[in-house]
């Protein structure tokens, strides 16, 4: 699974971006092998949920934004550990 910045929303079928069906297929291909892959799956699902009507109230949007921020921060920390 390819890594993407956490602040980039999933946008199906835009130039240069994989469509949602392709991402779904990647996520369903098999179990995550690392915590980074787990967080990428969670990030993708949170972004998809954020686009639904159920996630439009300000409290839910704030919770989603904080969770996505945590994922990005922890992924960065994990990447730094592996680069060292």
- Supply the pTM of this predicted model: 0.66
* CA 34/CA 60 separation, integer angstroms: 28
* CA 50/CA 11 separation, integer angstroms: 12
Closest CA to 1 of 39, 40, 35: 40
Residue 40 lies in a domain: yes
Closest CA to 38 of 61, 16, 70: 70
Residue 77 lies in a domain: yes
Q: Which domain holds residue 60?
A: 34-83
* CA 19/CA 30 separation, integer angstroms: 19
What are the pLDDT digits (tens) for 13-70? Answer: 445 556 778 888 888 888 989 888 899 899 999 999 999 999 999 999 999 999 999 9
What pLDDT was estimated at residue 19? Answer: 76
Please give the DSSP secondary-structure letter assigned to residue 34.
S
Residue 18 lies in a domain: no
């Amino acid at each position: 699974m390819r890594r993407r910045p956490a602040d980039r929303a999933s946008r199906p079928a835009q130039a240069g971006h994989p469509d949602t069906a392709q991402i779904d297929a990647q996520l369903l291909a098999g179990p995550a092998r690392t915590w980074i892959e787990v967080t990428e799956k969670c990030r993708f699902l949170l972004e998809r949920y954020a686009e639904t009507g159920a996630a439009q109230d300000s409290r839910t949007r704030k919770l989603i934004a904080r969770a996505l921020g945590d994922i990005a921060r922890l992924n960065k920390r994990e990447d730094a550990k592996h680069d060292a």
